[in-house]
Structure formats: structure tokens, C-alpha cells
Structure 1
Amino acid sequence: MPSHRCSHVLWLSTSKPLSRRINQSAPSSLIKKGHMPRAKGNDLCEIFGYAPDDRSNPARKQWKSQDCPFVGNTCVKHSHPQDGGTVVVYGTCSVANKTRNGLEEVIVCPQRLYAGKYETLRSCAIDAIGHPLPTLLANDYSKAKRAKRLPEDFVVFLGQNSGSEVQLSNPGIIQLSLDWVLVRVTAGVPTLAVPCEVQSIDTTGNYHSSWRAYAEEKSSVPDSKHGMNWANVWKRLIPQLILKSSIATTSQLCKKGMYFILPDRVYMQFEKLVGKVPASKAAGHGVLTVMTYGLGPDVLPGQIRPVELRRQDRMSSVDFAKAFASGKQMPLGSQLDQKVIEILQGL
């Protein structure tokens, strides 16, 4: 896929994260000063926005509230107990996977991408319009409208936690919703609509034991037993993106195409499946703009790491769909034939 890498972004840190500088066998004197040991393998990276070993008052207060620090509502990452068991609100924003090249951090909650009061969405609006405009969430828009104090030219965000998602359907055939639509309103008239899809990646397995050790401030933390649900990329994420971008292509208001916000590591998985897609030079009708993000530098206890823009890609929505449908990155039919023969021989 085409790629524009941002030179101001810190790609690789030459130092270990602050939270990992305390050894697994750290003495209790260090633990009491605000640090805890960390898991040696797969680990939890952020819980309720903070490092899991952050024992500062702001971090522990956030844990106790069970609220997402980025949108203010109760965290959506929770357990699903059977037979009326206790629900555990995990607050897991990102995880760290142990690889041959060290730890790989992956954002696993889309709401983590709303840091800075939806800064990623504002960036999409600026990119599509070409310059900043006042931005309003649905509640602020409603208040200003009633008070007759709306700006002459502004952008209102419609979506999760702001009014409602834009629901679309063809009765009896398909029903879907757009995560966000950023609507430019000029002199009281909608002049531009910018659909934005925001995705992360689900985890598999279980990280309860690791989470519990951090929650109870244990002297040792077991490795997390989570995995990454990469199959969802081709099963759900790409098909949804193709469907929604094709709708935007036929819209008169979507003059700048559609935007897609996701973690850079997840986009790498998209690239493996879709392969190289011809680049588009600018946002426009029928263009898909991809903006990828990752966690920023480590911070001191009591602070939350920012999310930083990693890459921006643009391509035709049609070209993206064709690249996925071509099956060039998929297993060959000959493999299917061989597997059938092997299974029959083994029965």
C-alpha cells in the first residue's frame, strides 16, 4: 500500500519503557515508592489509560471509577460471566506482545484513539477541509442551536458518544452504521460529510490473572495469556470498510471520500492481506484516507501517554476493494486440494 511516513514521529525508543525499568525481582522498597514488577512475557500495556504498574493517585482513582479516561463513560472492556457472576471491568486499552524483536505494543480498544478529546477526528476534519474550523459534539451543537449562537462555519461530530451513529439500511437486506460522520455546516447548510471508521483489534485468550495481579498490587505478575484476533481483519474489518466506503462513493456530501483511523500495527495486517494499492494524491470523491496511530513516548507516573500519527495513506476505494477481492494474498486453491486429499487419507 502507498505510505507517507511522518518524520516527527518517534518510531523506536532507544530506552526501555519507564514501567519496565524495575526488574521482576524488584525489592519491596522500590515497589513501595510507586513501582511494581512487570510480566516477563506478554503483558498488559495500559489499564484505564495508565501503565498497569502506575500506583499514583490519578491512576488508582481512574481504576476505581471504572470509567474510560478518553470518553468519560464506563469502560466497555469487561468480562462476560455466566450464571449471574460478577462482572469485571478490565479497562484494558492496549497490550504488549513479546516477539523476537522485543515487546510490540498494540492498541486494543478503539476508544483509546479518542485521546485529547477526539484529536484524531479533528485531524481528519482538518485534512479534509484544508484548515481548522470550530468543532462541536452533538450536545454542544444542540445547545448552541437553541441559543442561536452557532458559528457561521463549523464542523459537528455525529457518532459514538455524540448524538448517535448514522444508521443506514436497505430493509430486509442489510443494515449498518457509520462510526462517525463529521459534518461541515456553513451558513446553516451541511456542505460536506466526512465518514470516519475507527477500529482497533480484539484479543483472544484470557488476561485475568495478569490483570488481577496489577489490581491487587502483587509482588509478582504472571504473563498475560492473551492473543490477537487477527482473523477479524479479513472476516469483519475489511468487508465493513469496503461496504461503508462504497456507500460514501455514491454520496453527494462525501466530497472528500472516507477516512479510516486505526492502530498502525493493525494496518500492517491489512497490508499483508490486501497488498500494494495505487496511491491517490489527495482526499476526494471515492478516495479512502487511512490514518494510523501508535502510543507516544513513555511518561511519568500519573500521566497518560499520547497517541501519535504514524502514517497517512490514500487510495481509491474501488482499488482497495479490488485488491482484497483479487485473493493474491490468500492461500492457493491447490492447497485446498491437497488438504482434502490428506484428510481423506487420514480417515
Structure 2
Amino acid sequence: MAGYIAEFFGYAASDKSQPALTAAARKNCPFLGSFCVKTLARDKVISGVCAIRQKTPGSPNVICCPIRLYADNYKMLRLIARKAFKQEHNLYAGRVAVEKAKEEGGAIAVFGKGWGGELRLPQRKGMGSYFVDWVLARLDSQGELVELTAIEVQTIDTTGSYGNAQRVLAESREVISDTAGLNWENVSKRIIPQIIYKGQVLQREDLCRSGLFLVCPKPVYQRILDRLGGTEKLPKFPSQPASINFIAYDANAEHKDGDITPLGIVEEHCTTVYKVQEAFSSLNLPEGNVYKEAISRTLYPERYQD
């Protein structure tokens, strides 16, 4: 499997404009407003890789760094707070929100990396499987907690390596292919079981009325739906404590050199954790004797002349 780096330090990899070259030279993440925190596994070199695409013609760019989804000063968090709480409040890091809520007639406390820090949650048999990427907590005008919701952010994990492609991009701004691939198997093996479990945990929270939000790039969202049998297996439901709210992001404007390609919500689908669980556990089995047929075709090819 082979692929290309599609976005590099926030800009299209093919972009040779001054803003793109400056961001790469300074190793700056335009979404954080500071150094890129993504590193190559082997030598810990700052990566700068936001998205990759497969070599197959027409393959989409797929975001591989979750920070890419935090553009416009974490606009995604503000949008989900509005969807979950049906109110407009400012967002503040953790405990800072208490006094702000009293001053402003309400506020949203944010817990997550770079904001209010991780919450101290009980561990399940020694594993931190309750943890989500973000927790948003709505405080009333007295600074009291009245409602909460949780967000899981899932980009794509990669296989192989894009280390050589990254080096060439950094040195000469040339786009070459590398062995980087997209780990779609992770969608079935890890992502879906996690959202089922975490969705069930959140349903037991008295103050969680909107369930779990799963934010991901559109290609990841599509792969999840394909694995679950499509939207016909996941009927729409109104927001409720048992909700799984899928939110797919993708580029929503044509790219122009010197500009960061803006992202926006391109699709949403709200169902329940039980419908996701039911669809995930249902099996689409092949016809019988597929192993026998495969072995026979290998052993006796002369009997299978097409």
C-alpha cells in the first residue's frame, strides 16, 4: 500500500506559497498557534502531517491528526455545545468556568487536552476505558453544574511510513509517495466497540441528555456506516441520553494556495447506542463452503476453467 502526504503544517502539501513554506520552516501548527506536537514514531522528528491520501486516483484526503479538527480556535467545541445544550454560552477551561458563569449568566466548562485537563474518572479493571477526548459541562448563573455531554474525536490511524515523504517535503517541498496506508481495520476493531461502551456509560449519567458525540473526517464516518450496514440499519432518533451523534467533517471550499482549506460539518446522523450495537453484532455471512471452494480452486485449477 502506498500513499501521499496531503496536508503539511496546515497547508496543502502541493502549496508552495510563502505562508505554507513559512509554517513548515517554523514547524508551526496553525490550528494550535504553536509548534506542531505530532512526531514521527522512530526518531521523534516533528511531523507536521495533517492528512494523507492513498495513491489510488480519486482517493480523498483523510485527516490523520485530530488537531486538524480544532481549527478556528476550537470552533468544533462551540458548535457541539450549542447542539447539546441548545443555549449560547462562552467556553472556559475547567474551574475557570465557575466564576465566569456567575458573571455571564452561565458558561461551559471544558475538560480536555490543553483546556481543563483530564477528569479523574474511575478505572475499569485497571483500564481507563471511561475516558473520552472532551467533556463539556454547562453551568447555570450560580456556577452550578446542570448538564453535561461528551465528545470522542476519531481521525484515521496509519500503517507503513510517511517518513521519507515527510523529509522530502520539508527539504524541497516536493510531494512523493511513501508506504503510508490507512488503517481501516481499526474502524471495526477499536472505534465502534469504544463508542458503544462509552455511549452506554453516558446513558447512566443523570445530567447527560444528549449522549455521545463522535466527530470524525467524512471518509472515516462513511467507513463506520459501511461497517454498520448503512443508515438503514441506524434509524434516526431525536437527541436523548442514549444517543450516538455522528458528525462528519470535510473540506467545504475549494483550496487556494496560501490559504488553509476550511473544514465544516458535511453530514450528521443521530441514532442510539443500541442501534449501533445491534448493527455491529449482526453478521453478513458469505455463502457456505467458501473455504472449501478456495482450497479446491488452488489445488485443482484445471477443474475451474472459466
Q: TM-score normalized by structure 2?
A: 0.85
> 1:341 deviation in Å?
6.9
Question: Residues 307 and 147 from structure 1, CA distance in 2 versus in 1: closer, same or farther, beyond 3 angstroms?
Answer: closer
The amino acid that maps onto 1:134 is N
Matched, 1:267 2:224: no
> 1:305 deviation in Å?
1.1
Partner of 1:213: 168
> 1:62 deviation in Å?
2.1
**Aligned mate of 1:70, from 28, 31, 47:** 31
Matched, 1:92 2:49: yes
Matched, 1:151 2:104: yes
Partner of 1:165: 118
- For the residue of structure 2 that corresponds to 1:191, the secondary structure is strand
**Aligned mate of 2:248, from 287, 292, 296:** 292
- For the residue of structure 1 that corresponds to 2:104, the secondary structure is coil
Partner of 1:104: 60
Cα pair 2:217 2:248 within 8 Å, conserved: yes
Question: Residues 298 and 148 from structure 1, CA distance in 2 versus in 1: closer, same or farther, beyond 3 angstroms?
Answer: closer
Cα pair 1:166 1:178 within 8 Å, conserved: no
Cα pair 1:277 1:315 within 8 Å, conserved: no
> 1:299 deviation in Å?
3.7
> 1:335 deviation in Å?
6.3
- For the residue of structure 1 that corresponds to 2:172, the secondary structure is coil
CA distance in 2, matches of 1:339, 1:237: 33
Aligned residues: CA RMSD: 2.9
Cα pair 2:36 2:46 within 8 Å, conserved: yes
CA distance in 2, matches of 1:333, 1:301: 51
- For the residue of structure 2 that corresponds to 1:63, the secondary structure is helix
Partner of 1:9: none
Matched, 1:136 2:92: yes
Partner of 2:82: 126
- For the residue of structure 2 that corresponds to 1:272, the secondary structure is helix
Partner of 1:257: 211
CA distance in 2, matches of 1:341, 1:173: 44
CA distance in 1, matches of 2:98, 2:4: 47
Question: Residues 233 and 188 from structure 1, CA distance in 2 versus in 1: closer, same or farther, beyond 3 angstroms?
Answer: same
- For the residue of structure 1 that corresponds to 2:89, the secondary structure is coil
Question: Residues 171 and 271 from structure 1, CA distance in 2 versus in 1: closer, same or farther, beyond 3 angstroms?
Answer: closer
Cα pair 1:185 1:191 within 8 Å, conserved: yes
- Which structure carries more relative contact order (alpha carbon 8 Å, separation 6+)? 1
Cα pair 2:101 2:107 within 8 Å, conserved: no
CA distance in 2, matches of 1:108, 1:147: 35
Q: How does 1:161-200 map to 2 (within 5 A)?
A: 161-170=114-123, 172=125, 174-176=127-129, 177-186=131-140, 187-200=142-155
Partner of 2:278: 322
Cα pair 1:67 1:73 within 8 Å, conserved: yes
Question: Residues 266 and 251 from structure 1, CA distance in 2 versus in 1: closer, same or farther, beyond 3 angstroms?
Answer: same
- For the residue of structure 1 that corresponds to 2:260, the secondary structure is coil
Matched, 1:50 2:6: no
Cα shift readout 1:214-253 (whole Å, capped 9, x = no counterpart): 21126x5432331110011111111111111110011101
Cα pair 2:213 2:247 within 8 Å, conserved: yes
Gaps of 5+ in 2: 300-306
Cα shift readout 1:53-74 (whole Å, capped 9, x = no counterpart): 3333432332233343213454
Q: How does 1:11-50 map to 2 (within 5 A)?
A: 42-50=3-11
Q: TM-score normalized by structure 1?
A: 0.76
> 1:125 deviation in Å?
1.1
Cα pair 1:183 1:192 within 8 Å, conserved: yes
> 1:171 deviation in Å?
5.0
The amino acid that maps onto 1:65 is R
Percent identity for Structure 1 against Structure 2: 29
Gaps of 5+ in 1: 1-40
Question: Residues 179 and 153 from structure 1, CA distance in 2 versus in 1: closer, same or farther, beyond 3 angstroms?
Answer: same
Question: Residues 335 and 74 from structure 1, CA distance in 2 versus in 1: closer, same or farther, beyond 3 angstroms?
Answer: farther
**Aligned mate of 1:308, from 264, 270, 286:** 264
Segment of structure 1 superposing worse, 144-153 or 58-67:
144-153
Cα shift readout 1:183-225 (whole Å, capped 9, x = no counterpart): 110021111111011110111122223222221126x543233
Partner of 1:61: 22
